[in-house]
Amino acid sequence: MIQLHIQSQETLEEIISKRDGETKIGEKLQYCYSLEAIEQSSAKYVIFGIAEDYGVRANYGKRGTANAWDAFLKTFVNIQENDYNKGEDMLLLGYISVTPDDIKYTTPKPILGDVVKRIDKKVAYIVQAIVATGKIPIIIGGGHNNAYGNITGTSQALGSTINVMNIDAHTDLRTTDYRHSGNGFSYALSLDTPENASLNKYTVFGLHKNYTPQYIFDLFKKHKNRLQYHFLEDTWEVDTPIAQQYAKALQFVSQETFGLELDCDAITNFPSSARTPSGLYLNDVRQFIMHTASQKNCRYFHICEASPGRKKAGQVGKAISYFVTDFIRSHHAD
């Protein structure tokens, strides 16, 4: 079963740590009783989670991305409500759970891919409903397979293709033999059947040379008017600050409606499905998020592939909470 669980304030009471003289943001967030009721809320930002790792497992990755939402929520509801964080600007919708029948460790990858297709439909439906109201969805958790649902849902709500900036060590443009976390953008581009495309222009920032197949580089060359990449190694250019490099890369997609995808695999030593010892620094990524959110055409933000274990759940929750508040402050200011 793939189900949206609507969040209520009452269910959060036990994880909100209250103190005299302080107000936690979980006490001020907006909530709703159904997806259809979102439009009635005055909140600009709708936050929801995707508690799944089937796309990652179908892509031969490590499970654990299903736990990112819970790690985020326990930290996020306890940040301070103050002049810089306003709970009334945010609606906490809830999360998607995935509990399909007869899935085992030995289940063939294409069967997992069938589950991913069902998740795609649910994610797209929810994102479409949010974007159609003029609000901004902020999606937490799951594998990068969920980019396809984000893109499709936004495209359907707006009636046009959109662009995407992807901060990532990988392109996720693998072949479309079956659905998994490594081919969400391939499905969205739909290069063989353009009439089915929901993604127009795509750029990836922080790409690793060691983990990109040649056929994907060939794809970029063939479709250079729609696809761009920027290597991690190139960001070390001392004459050009990394923030300036990112801003230039963003221009490729930001002149039209676009979404922001952040794969935590891109961040050095971040607990994720494909943790890397060599990547972008977390504080640089925070700057990228703030700059991206300040662009008027940004319509959604997705944080994926975080895979917190028990010992790292608190730190992962803090990091994702920083990403979310950075985005909202910068977008709200615009």
Over 90: is that where the pLDDT of 180 sits? Answer: yes
Q: What is the pTM of this model?
A: 0.97
Dist CA 229 CA 217 (whole Å): 9
Please indicate if the annotation marks 180 as binding a ligand: no
pLDDT of 312 reads: 87
Tell which residue, 93, 138, 92, 141, has the closest CA to residue 119: 141
Spatial distance between the Cα atoms of 36 and 318, rounded to a whole number of angstroms: 30
Residue 105, pLDDT > 80, answer no
Q: Is 239 annotated as a binding residue?
A: no
CATH number of the domain residue 66 falls in = 3.40.800.10
327, pLDDT greater than 60: yes
Residue 317 pLDDT class (50, 70, 90 cuts): very high
Given pLDDT bands bounded at 50, 70 and 90, which one contains residue 209?
very high
Cβ–Cβ < 8 Å for 147, 78? no
Residue pair 176/219 in contact (Cβ under 8 Å)? The answer is no
Its domain, for residue 20, covers 2-333
| Highest mean pLDDT: which range of 225-239, 245-259, 302-316 | 245-259
Confirm or deny that 326 is annotated as ligand binding.
no
pLDDT digits (tens, 9 = 90+) for 233-284: 999 988 899 999 999 999 999 999 999 999 999 999 999 999 999 999 999 9
pLDDT for 333 equals 59
320 near 282, Cβ under 8 Å? Answer: no
Flag whether pLDDT at 34 surpasses 70: yes
Give the pLDDT confidence of 129-177 residue by residue, as tens digits. 999 999 999 999 999 999 999 999 999 999 999 999 999 999 999 999 9
What pLDDT score does 82 carry?
A: 98
pLDDT confidence of residue 89? 97
Q: In the structure, what pLDDT confidence band is assigned to residue 332 with cuts at 50, 70 and 90?
A: low
Residue 58's identity, in one-letter code, is A
pLDDT of residue 311: 80
pLDDT of amino acid 334: 54
What pLDDT sits at residue 107? 87
In the sheet where 162-167 sits, what is the strand order? 2-6, 90-98, 45-51, 136-140, 298-304, 258-263, 162-167, 199-207, 227-231
Count how many domains the chain has: 1
pLDDT at 47: 99
Confirm if 116 and 98 have CB atoms less than 8 A apart.
no
Q: Is 265 assigned to a binding site?
A: yes
Q: Is 120 annotated as a binding residue?
A: no
Q: 263 among the known binding-site residues? A: yes
Asked if pLDDT for residue 310 goes beyond 80, the answer is no
The CA distance from 93 to 33, in Å, is 9
Average pLDDT, the chain: 96
Tens digits of residue pLDDT in 47-79: 999 999 999 999 998 889 999 999 999 999 999
State yes or no: pLDDT of 286 exceeds 70: yes
> How far is 66 from 96, CA to CA, in rounded Å?
10
Tell me which residue has tokens 């490594």. 182
Tokens read off for 228: 């761009």
Single-letter amino acid, residue 137: P
pLDDT bracket for residue 309 (50, 70, 90): confident
